[in-house]
Chains A and B, each alone.
Chain A
């Protein structure tokens, strides 16, 4: 069974702090990696789709990198704001019809 691991499980930071979290996956089963942002009481929304080793994607203060050879992706948030508080999910697509989701990193940003 393929497993997508995210760490840490939760994270508390102060407003203005920069932070990052990790998504690990089996490197031999890689096709695409997705990052989603999931606010409480809402549905997950896409942040990035990454397909190539060395990919770097950026959206405002949020960026992500991908290393398919070693099987990990980092998500970075620069200058965290309270509105960044959410669960960040990564999801692995292995080329088939299914996508395997990690359990998420829950970020709390205190004003």
Chain B
């Protein structure tokens, strides 16, 4: 039982490049979330999903897209990376919306 995993752990991109971050969970959770964490700020919600095939915008969705084709996976895409997207990205999942979220180890992204 791996819990929530994220790949890659670290990535450097040039401005304008694209990439996809993968989040996988093996707990059969319905709800999955992508957050970004920046110094001095709390975790900010980018996008979330309430089940396979569904996605919704969070607090800071601009510049990101997501997909949830399989229940266990939640992908976060950056189509054209910008330096403002330099951050640490955390994926989380939970089985019910008011319950504890389980977090992945994070992906550190640097956009030059």
Contacts and interface: CB of A to CB of B under 8 A. Distances in A.
Q: Do A and B bind each other?
A: yes
Interface of A: 4, 31-32, 34, 42-46, 49, 51, 89, 91, 93, 95-104
Contacts of B50: 97
Contacts of B33: 99
Contact of B42 (A4, A43, A51, A93): A4
24 contacts: A32-B98, A42-B105, A43-B105, A43-B106, A44-B43, A44-B90, A44-B103, A46-B101, A46-B102, A49-B98, A49-B99, A51-B98, A89-B42, A91-B43, A91-B101, A95-B98, A96-B97, A97-B97, A98-B45, A98-B48, A101-B35, A101-B42, A101-B43, A101-B44
A41 to B, nearest CB: 9
Given A93-B98, A96-B97, A104-B42, A43 B56 contact: no
Nearest to B104: A43
Contacts of A95: 97-98
Contacts of A93: 97-98
Given A46-B100, A99-B101, 10 more contacts: A34-B101, A43-B104, A43-B106, A44-B101, A46-B102, A91-B101, A100-B42, A101-B35, A101-B42, A102-B42
Nearest to A38: B103
Interface string B79-112: 0000000000010000001111111111000000
Contacts of B98: 31-32, 49, 51, 93, 95
B51 to A, nearest CB: 11
B104 A103 contact: no
Nearest to B106: A43
A64 B71 CA distance: 34
